[in-house]
Chain A
Amino acid sequence: MSRPRLLALFSFAAAASLFIALVSGPFPISALLVLDSVLDPTPGLVHDVIWQLRAPRALAAFACGGLLALAGALLQVLLRNALADPYVLGVSSGAALGALLAVTLGAGAVLMNAAALTGAACAIAIVFFLSFRSGEWDMYRLLLTGVVLAAGFSALVSLTLVMAPGVQVKGMLYWLMGDLSYADSPVAAWIVLLVVGAAAMAHAVRLDLLALGEVKARSLGLSVKPLQVAIFVGAALATVAAVLLAGSVGFVGLMVPHAVRLMGVAGHRWLLPLAMLLGGAFLTLADTAARTLAAPQQLPVGVLTAIIGVPVMLWLLGKKRAPL
């Protein structure tokens, strides 16, 4: 499929996923009523369910998916490693540790978010300063530092889980598997998504160059180091914004960029917007399924992203791709 066509298709999918999220839920609201409420908002129960409950959650899911896909695509270029995902820099385990410690100490939602942010920021700072010493910047060291730190944080998270009282463990597990039921207002995440997304798009050609390898990129005139620092900062911001909304939702950041590549899109000018749209639509649908499939029981969305995503990804991998 041509790239403009893919863009049109993914834009439609994004709009459709948001609409489906507004329609679906235990309180029955017909598609027509939703459409009516979107076009002409009049106060009432329907209005409240849509605009107070479903819309913020759908927008949070969409922003989270877009952010994860964006961060994944950026880190796969920066580390030149196909297996890089947003959590490879230890952001999510750092945030998880902060949040779980806060919960264990009996903190409320606001303090928990602050603790998660602190944990994520600490993880990023440690990874950055350990791998960016004396102006030398080695992606291999960056990758390993991130992985090692993430392992350390995960161990501490497990320790916290074991030590925590039984009633708290289930809520904590949801946080670790990715869950949007506690998502705050998605405004901050949307701002990060739009700002980092636009900045990344403006550097699309530079990302293409960097993907050729550092030496090659430099030989073609790219100033590699400032770009690498910018990618690191952008990807870290995107990941933190996503993690604060939904914990660590797996699969999206790793696989969505690859899914777009498997559709034959290579240049970042197209890859980035397509990945953000697909990631957003995918997570919105997965989250809608998570809150409706076993209602009133809510499933962790991170489980569903994998359950839905794995077969789709395997099908894409098995499909014979038309040569470009």
Chain B
Amino acid sequence: MLRCERLTLAVPGRVLARDVGFEVRRGEIWAVLGANGSGKTTLVHALAGLVPAPAGTVALDGAPLAGRPGAARASLIGILLQQEDAEFWGSVFDYVLLGRFSRARSWYGWQSEDEDAARAALAAVGLTDFAARGYRTLSGGERQRARIAQLLAQDPEVLLLDEPLQHLDLRHQAAVLRLFSTLARERGRAVMMVLHDALWPARICSHALLLHDDGAVESGAAGDMLARERLERLYGCPLQEIETGGTRFFAPL
């Protein structure tokens, strides 16, 4: 579904990786792992079409992403950003509604189906009672859930999540990941998430993509990728392997 070929990842003044190629299919959940500054965010931004990659192509269902008008792209591919650089002064409900921009059929204002979608999205992240609150009055974790609700209201085919678990407590980490894995399994969405811990990928991801500091990129089934030696090389630190209930976890020594 989402396929990239010979993609170059670069930040101003530095090339992070070359010739990155992989395909994420419907129903798959990918983990993107790597050390700080290894290009995880650059990768998902390039996949979302937010920044043009210096080289390579990203295609969605065979059609190149570049050149698609904004709204058509955003109804197919959505991204949960790691950080947003502006405050939002309206209510939580208004914030989530903005996710409907690419789907809205009215040129001015919102229709009832947009409002229904926003309400459903808020309910999915447990923020129904917060709808009328000012977005600025939310805590960090509540904001993160509101941002996830906005992405759910956008309802794209491909969901790119840059650190979806940041600021979330353990209960909401589990709830949010359950939500995304349901979307992948039952509604055929393709999910790709940048994660920082070595606990969740093994439990919910079907595939993993490893961005090494030296520019090497490995990708494949989660079972093969999430091995101790590979992750030790990835993070540059010794890891302890814990196996329980048939799942392998990793923790720094």
**A residues in contact (CB < 8 Å) with B:** 80, 201-202, 204-206, 208-209, 211-213, 215-216, 218-224, 261, 266-267, 269, 323-324
Which of the segments B13-21, B95-103, B187-195, B213-221 contacts the partner chain?
Answer: B95-103
Contact present for A219 and B94 (CB under 8 Å): no
The answer to whether B71 has its CB under 8 Å from any CB of chain A is: yes
- 9 closest A-B pairs by beta carbon, nearest first, are A221-B74, A221-B102, A266-B90, A324-B134, A266-B89, A221-B71, A213-B86, A213-B85, A223-B70
Residues of B within 8 A of A80 (CB): 86
| B77, closest chain A residue (CB) | A219
The answer to whether B154 has its CB under 8 Å from any CB of chain A is: yes
Q: Is the interface of B mostly helix, strand, loop or mixed?
A: loop
Given A80-B86, A213-B86, A219-B50, check contact A208 B91 (CB 8 Å): no
Count of A-B contacts judged by CB separation below 8 Å: 84
Residues of A within 8 A of B89 (CB): 261, 266
Residues of B within 8 A of A213 (CB): 84-86
Q: In the complex, which of the residues A202, A215, A221, A266 contacts B88, with contact meaning CB atoms closer than 8 Å?
A: A266
- Chain B interface residue bracket vs A: 35 or more
In the complex, A323→B130 CA distance in Å?
12
Contact present for A212 and B99 (CB under 8 Å): no
Contact present for B133 and A208 (CB under 8 Å): no
In the complex, A216→B98 CA distance in Å?
11
Residues of A within 8 A of B69 (CB): 223
Residues of A within 8 A of B109 (CB): 205, 269
Contact present for B48 and A219 (CB under 8 Å): yes
Residues of B within 8 A of A220 (CB): 74, 98-99, 101-102, 150, 154
In the complex, A220→B91 CA distance in Å?
18
Contact present for A216 and B85 (CB under 8 Å): yes
Residues of A within 8 A of B150 (CB): 220
Contact present for A209 and B70 (CB under 8 Å): no
Contact present for B101 and A218 (CB under 8 Å): no
Min C-beta distance of B134 to chain A, whole Å: 4
Given A221-B73, A222-B70, A266-B90, check contact A212 B84 (CB 8 Å): yes
The answer to whether B125 has its CB under 8 Å from any CB of chain A is: no
Contact present for B133 and A323 (CB under 8 Å): yes
Contact present for A221 and B101 (CB under 8 Å): yes
* Most chain B CB inside 10 Å of its own CB: which residue of A213, A220, A267: A220
Min C-beta distance of B80 to chain A, whole Å: 9
The answer to whether B137 has its CB under 8 Å from any CB of chain A is: yes
Residues of A within 8 A of B49 (CB): 218
Contact present for B79 and A323 (CB under 8 Å): no
A-B contact pairs, 28 of them (CB 8 A): A205-B98, A205-B101, A205-B109, A205-B110, A206-B101, A208-B90, A208-B98, A211-B88, A213-B84, A215-B85, A216-B81, A216-B85, A216-B86, A219-B48, A219-B50, A219-B79, A220-B101, A221-B72, A222-B101, A261-B89, A266-B88, A266-B89, A267-B94, A269-B108, A324-B91, A324-B132, A324-B133, A324-B134
| A225, closest chain B residue (CB) | B70
Given A212-B84, A216-B84, A269-B109, check contact A221 B75 (CB 8 Å): yes
Min C-beta distance of B88 to chain A, whole Å: 6
Contact present for B108 and A202 (CB under 8 Å): yes
In the complex, A264→B81 CA distance in Å?
27
Which residues between 148 and 163 of chain B lie within 8 Å of chain A, taking CB atoms? 150, 154
Min C-beta distance of A279 to chain B, whole Å: 19
Residues of A within 8 A of B101 (CB): 205-206, 209, 220-222
In the complex, A139→B33 CA distance in Å?
33
Residues of A within 8 A of B27 (CB): none
Contact present for B70 and A221 (CB under 8 Å): yes
In the complex, A267→B84 CA distance in Å?
18
Min C-beta distance of A207 to chain B, whole Å: 11
Residues of A within 8 A of B81 (CB): 215-216, 219
